Amino acid sequence: MKTIQFREAVCEAMSEEMRRDESIYLMGEEVAEYNGAYKASKGMLDEFGPKRVIDTPISELGFAGIATGSAMNGNRPIVEFMTFNFSLVGIDQIINNAAKIRQMSGGQFNCPIVFRGPTASAGQLAATHSQAFESWYANCPGLKVIVPSNPADAKGLLKSAIRDDDPVIFMESEQMYGDKGEVPEGEYLIPIGVADIKREGKDVTIVSFGKIIKEAYKAADELAKEGIECEIIDLRTVRPMDHKAILDSVKKTNRLVILEEAWPFGNVATEITYQVQNQAFDYLDAPIEKINTADTPAPYSPALLAEWLPNSNDVIKAVKKVLYK
């Protein structure tokens, strides 16, 4: 094992795959000369050259379309959005072409492409740069959606995403790029669609993913001081979702809290709630609690932002509610 930053894990995954397969290339705003907006492609231009690490104009619709056509013709592009907020400019290519071409062509074309970049809040970036898009893209058949929470998962899942023959949405966070963690040495992949139990417990299941899961860890540490054992499941992949891991845990703990950095209406937590109530209702000893952001655009003020985002105190309150209601 070695300890590296999240951005280094992303860079290693892309670089290792590009050494393995010459059909893989990276394109996006500032990925080449500037080494990436968040330095996640540092050194890649020097190693692979400008034909495989390509700086694009500020035109997400254009380069998302170029990459989609390229993938249909035998290449395996990685597209970096400086933030997934900017992907809305190119969403027509992602939803109407990349996600649908296998079905619409009767299987004659596949689209092995990775769209990656940051999602959700990154601090004081205000309403139009602080949105979580996991549930948006997971709603579309044909797309796989991955949201890792640590460097090891990021590297193993990104390598799997690059090798996948279908389009994958790979979501990161500006606030995680500097996070450090242990990553296995050598070649390793993590299968898409498999959740991970990050902490064993018997009293309540907490399901989360991405950077907001850190608040679950903080809450679990505090609750442990009171003798409450939380089981924390990191989804890692939002679609396909590992329903079995969630259901097995709920059948053990009989209580469920879902923590997600997204608006309350029609999100990933809503889907999990339906699946659990539909398949494990008789195991529940309390109503499911879901924790989301406030149902407003993200504020700019740091004081308001702290109130808008879920935090460990919210998790503690939700856990105690399902335990003692």
Residue 302 confidence (pLDDT): 95
Residue 14 pLDDT > 80? yes
Q: Which 3-state string (H, E, C) describes 37-88?
A: CCCCCCCHHHHHCCCCEEECCCCHHHHHHHHHHHHHCCCEEEEECCCCCHHH
User: Are the CB atoms for 41 and 35 separated by under 8 Å?
Assistant: yes
Considering the domain architecture, whether residues 179 and 226 belong to the same structural domain is answered as: no
**% of the chain residues with pLDDT over 90:** 99
Domain count for the chain: 2
Asked whether residue 191 is assigned to any structural domain, the reply reads no
Q: Are residues 253 and 320 in the same domain?
A: yes
In terms of domains, do 21 and 149 share one? yes
245-276 burial by CB neighbour count: b if 16+ within 10 A, else e? bbbebbeebbbbbbbbbbbeeebbbbbbbeeb
- Asked if the structure places residue 290 within a domain, the reply is yes
**What pLDDT band is residue 325 in, cutting at 50, 70 and 90?**
confident
Looking at 117, 149, 183, which one is the last position of a domain? 183
Looking at the structure, do residues 98 and 205 belong to the same domain, yes or no?
Answer: no
User: Can you give the CATH number for the domain in which 259 is found?
Assistant: 3.40.50.920
201 and 253 in contact (C-beta within 8 Å)?
Answer: yes
Q: How confident is the model at residue 279 (pLDDT cuts 50, 70, 90)?
A: very high
Q: What is the pTM of this model?
A: 0.97
* Distance in angstroms (rounded) separating the CA atoms of residues 85 and 121: 10
* DSSP secondary structure letter of residue 297: P
SS3 state at 206: strand
* pLDDT at res. 99: 98
Residues 31 and 169 in one domain: yes
**Band (259; pLDDT cuts 50, 70, 90):** very high
Beta-strand ranges (E) seen in the chain are 2-5, 24-28, 53-55, 76-80, 114-118, 144-146, 168-172, 180-183, 196-199, 204-208, 230-234, 237-239, 256-259, 289-291
Q: What burial class does residue 136 get, using C-beta atoms within 10 Å of its C-beta: 0-12 exposed, 13-18 middle, 19+ buried?
A: buried
Domain end residue (candidates: 151, 183, 215): 183
Are residues 56 and 29 in contact, defined by beta-carbon separation less than 8 angstroms?
yes
CATH classification of the domain holding 133: 3.40.50.970
Q: Do 230 and 313 belong together in one domain?
A: yes
Beta-bridge partners for 324: none
In this predicted structure, what is the pLDDT of residue 307?
96
139 class by beta-carbon count within 10 Å (0-12 exposed, 13-18 middle, 19+ buried): middle
218 and 308 housed in the same domain:
yes
pLDDT value, residue 323 = 97
The residue assigned the tokens 């933030």 is 83
Domain residue limits at 277: 196-324
- Residues 76 and 223 occupy one common structural domain: no
User: Residue 238: is its pLDDT beyond 90?
Assistant: yes
Q: Which amino acid is at 194?
A: V
Q: pLDDT, tens digit, for every residue of 103-154? A: 999 999 999 999 999 999 999 999 999 999 999 999 999 999 999 999 999 9
* Residues catalogued as catalytic: 60, 129
- Of 183, 209, 236, the position where a domain reaches its end is 183
Residues 167 and 38 in one domain: yes
148 and 211 inside one domain: no
